[in-house]
């Protein structure tokens, strides 16, 4: 059933277009057997917000994404997307691996994401999505001839071709080299600004979260330990004092103020070993 969010959303920078779906979790808990991963978590992302979720490996980031996509049921609590239980209709997800079908050409891989259109319209929509990610001229090629960054662009086109109201991004740029990663961040930001979907980005990279998000959430001990508004103009300049200040706050939260020099990429075991 529809209900009002627990607290009024703070004013945020919004994407244009107004197509986004709000996301609300109330008293959300998720356990796997005896292990409680998320505990009575409350979170409200207004429609169109770009929200990033960071936290140490295993803190429950992907679990949270799966819940808002309706892929997993909560152990306790309520999740809604646009005030409704989440369904696969309104949301799409992008993973670290592009997960393309190797036996299907690029255009056909994007067509996989189309819903409810006739053949001709579907093809036009897929071509249009490919153009938007800068691959309009690669529609007839096999995925195997594309670079890693290009494959992720195809995955992005496939995710966006259905014009989702919510896009979940699970470390989508984690496997790309640093320059491709920045290009993809810029592309994601531009498309989000144009299309106005709500974006929920899980990332190990604090600077990526700050480059893209209106708001950064730190997950820790099963709940939100920091909820930071990123009120910086876009496009953001990496290494700017504003970003550095917020990055410091997040790293202090994650590792304690003594470890200010902690790496900003929280990926996996190295950071865990160093800063456990
Ligand atoms: N299907 C499952 N069955 C049992 N345990 C699970 C399952 N899914 C997740 N977990 C456990 O829940 C915890 C959180 O997992 P999750 O994948 O959400 O973490 P994460 O923050 O996304 O981690 P990472 O940053 O390493 O990807 C982990 O301890 C994980 O082992």
pLDDT at 155: 96
DSSP annotation of 264 reads S
Check: CB of residue 199 under 8 Å from CB of residue 123.
no
Percent of the chain predicted with pLDDT > 90:
79
Check: CB of residue 49 under 8 Å from CB of residue 196.
no
DSSP string, 137-192: GGTTS-GGGS-HHHHHHHHHHHHHTT--SEEEEESTTTTS-HHHHHHHHHHHHHHH
pLDDT at 159: 94
Q: Which atom of ligand 1 lies at the shortest distance from residue 72's CA?
A: 1
What ipTM does the predicted assembly reach? 0.97
Average pLDDT over every residue of 21-41: 96
Average pLDDT over every residue of 82-101: 90
Q: Ligand 1 in contact with 174 (CB < 6 A)?
A: no
SS3 111: helix
Q: Which of the pair, 269 or 234, is modelled with greater confidence?
A: 234
Q: Which atom of ligand 1 lies at the shortest distance from residue 33's CA?
A: 4
Q: What is the dihedral of CA 144, 212, 80, 44, to 10 degrees?
A: 160
pLDDT at 123: 96
Question: Residue 19: is its pLDDT beyond 90?
Answer: no
Lowest mean pLDDT among 61-70, 149-158, 213-222, 267-276: 267-276
Question: Residue 231: is its pLDDT beyond 80?
Answer: yes
The whole-angstrom separation of Cα 54 and Cα 164 is 23
In sequence order, what are the residues at sequence separation of 6 or more whose Cβ sits closer than 8 angstroms to the Cβ of residue 230?
A: 210, 213, 214, 215, 216, 246
Q: Ligand 1 in contact with 32 (CB < 6 A)?
A: yes
Among candidate residues 265, 266, 221, 253, the one with its CA nearest the CA of residue 59: 221
Among candidate residues 98, 34, 52, 88, the one with its CA nearest the CA of residue 229: 52
Structure tokens at 97: 């691996």
Q: Which residue has the tokens 């779906």?
A: 21
pLDDT at 115: 86
Average pLDDT over every residue of 39-54: 97
The whole-angstrom separation of Cα 160 and Cα 153 is 10
pLDDT at 238: 83
Please compute, for residue 35, the number of CA atoms within 13 A of its CA located in the half-sphere on the CB side. 7
Q: Whose CA is nearest to atom 28 of ligand 1?
A: 58
Q: Which atom of ligand 1 lies at the shortest distance from residue 60's CA?
A: 18
Domain ranges of the chain: 31-90+166-276, 96-163
Q: Ligand 1 in contact with 60 (CB < 6 A)?
A: yes
pLDDT at 260: 52
DSSP annotation of 258 reads G
The answer to pTM > 0.90 is no
In sequence order, what are the residues at sequence separation of 6 or more whose Cβ sits closer than 8 angstroms to the Cβ of residue 205?
A: 173, 174, 264, 265, 266, 267
Dihedral of alpha carbons 257, 261, 267, 271, sign: negative
Task: Name the architecture of domain 31-90+166-276.
Answer: 3-Layer(aba) Sandwich (3.40)
pLDDT at 11: 38
Lowest mean pLDDT among 3-17, 33-47, 159-173, 185-199: 3-17
- At 39, the pLDDT band (50, 70, 90 cuts) reads very high
Taking the centre of ligand 1 as the mean of its atom positions, its distance from the CA of residue 244, in whole angstroms, is 29
Q: Strand order of the sheet with strand 35-45? A: 35-45, 23-32, 76-81
């Amino acid at each position: 059933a529809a209900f009002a969010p627990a607290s009024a959303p703070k004013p945020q920078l919004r994407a244009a277009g107004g197509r986004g779906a709000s996301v609300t979790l109330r008293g959300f808990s998720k356990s796997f057997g005896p292990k409680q991963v998320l505990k009575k978590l409350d979170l409200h992302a207004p429609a169109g917000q770009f929200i990033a979720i960071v936290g140490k490996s295993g803190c429950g980031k992907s679990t949270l994404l799966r819940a808002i996509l309706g892929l997993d049921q909560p152990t306790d609590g309520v999740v809604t997307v646009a005030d409704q239980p989440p369904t696969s209709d309104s949301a799409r997800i992008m993973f670290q691996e592009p997960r393309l079908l190797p036996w299907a050409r690029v255009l056909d891989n994007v067509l996989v994401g189309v819903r409810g259109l006739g053949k001709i319209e579907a093809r036009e929509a897929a071509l249009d999505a490919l153009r938007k990610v800068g691959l309009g001229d690669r529609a007839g090629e096999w995925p195997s001839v594309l670079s890693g960054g290009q494959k992720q662009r195809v995955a992005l086109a496939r995710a966006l071709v259905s014009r989702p109201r919510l896009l979940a991004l699970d470390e989508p740029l984690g496997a790309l080299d640093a320059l491709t990663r920045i290009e993809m961040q810029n592309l994601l930001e531009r498309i989000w600004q144009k299309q106005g979907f709500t974006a929920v980005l899980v990332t190990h990279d604090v600077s990526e979260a700050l480059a893209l998000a209106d708001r950064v959430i730190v997950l820790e001990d099963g709940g939100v330990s920091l909820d930071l508004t990123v009120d910086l103009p876009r496009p953001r300049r990496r290494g700017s004092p504003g970003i550095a200040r917020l990055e410091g706050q997040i790293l202090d939260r994650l590792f304690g103020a003594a470890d200010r020099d902690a790496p900003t990429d929280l990926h996996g075991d190295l950071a865990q070993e160093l800063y456990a």
